[in-house]
Amino acid sequence: MRVKSTYICLFLLLFSFLVKAQKSTDTISFQLLFNKAPLALGKQYSISDKDSLTIDFLKFYISDITFYNKGKYAGKSIEKYHLIDAQISNSYTTHCTLKNKEFDSITFSIGLDSKTQEKGIQGGVLDPTSQMYWTWQNGFINFKLEGKSSLCSTRKNRFQFHIGGFQKPYQTRQEVTLSHSGSSSLMIGVDLATFFNAIDISQTNTVSSPNKNAVMVSKVLPRLFSSHEN
């Protein structure tokens, strides 16, 4: 009986080792940028010979991170949704479970899915103290960007983009797919200069509810993201 028990223990130990070998925990990092340089809140950026802008607030949700290798599922993020806050560097990284650490593409969403939106206030990053919740009717803000620019004719030259909406016709959750070469860990760049190159903030500078402008701005957001080997 002792010999049999020993074999069983060895088998279970080997099985556990094989499972761990097939799946490993890794990290994915997001790097906030402006014109390919690290983003600095409160810094004045020149956008033309006479105009400038300053970003002083940036938060956005990333959800359903999924990895693929040759078209097959290769892993996912441990957290279903993750809140990136430009003021908290620890929020730039999230943990993932990968098979053999090999993948050639990654997909994720900017924002939260409708089921999560309909559930309303929850704990963690879905707590109202995160400053990302509107009301039960409008749900959570998917992407929140604030600052000021000489291009804006608003009070104190402020711009405010609170991009959200999960009900038709103002659905603003956007999907992103990025390719990746190699098996090293991944860093995703988020370049805010791309946002201001696409949006004329002299004309569109305040979005604070689900509407046509929110949908228009949300369609620009996937362009901000690019993949890099870490």
pLDDT in tens, 40-59: 999 999 998 889 999 999 99
Instruction: Please give the angle made by the CA atoms of 224, 79 and 87, to the nearest 5 degrees.
Output: 50
| 65 closest CA partner among 224, 178, 208, 206 | 178
* pLDDT value at residue 16: 43
For the chain, what is the mean pLDDT? 89
Instruction: Report the pLDDT value the prediction gives residue 101, as an integer from 0 to 100.
Output: 72
Q: Residues 199-218: what's their mean pLDDT?
A: 98
**Strands, E assignment, the chain:** 23-34, 37-38, 44-46, 52-69, 72-77, 81-85, 93-99, 105-110, 141-149, 158-164, 174-179, 186-191, 206-207, 225-229
Quick one: pLDDT at residue 228? 79
Confidence band (pLDDT; 50, 70, 90) for 225?
very high
The pLDDT value given to residue 100: 72
Question: Per residue in 3-33, pLDDT tens?
Answer: 555 555 444 444 443 334 345 558 889 999 9
Domain segments of the chain as ranges: 23-229
Please determine, for residue 216, whether its predicted confidence score (pLDDT) is greater than 80. yes
pLDDT of residue 48: 87
The string of pLDDT tens digits covering residues 104-113 is 999 999 999 9
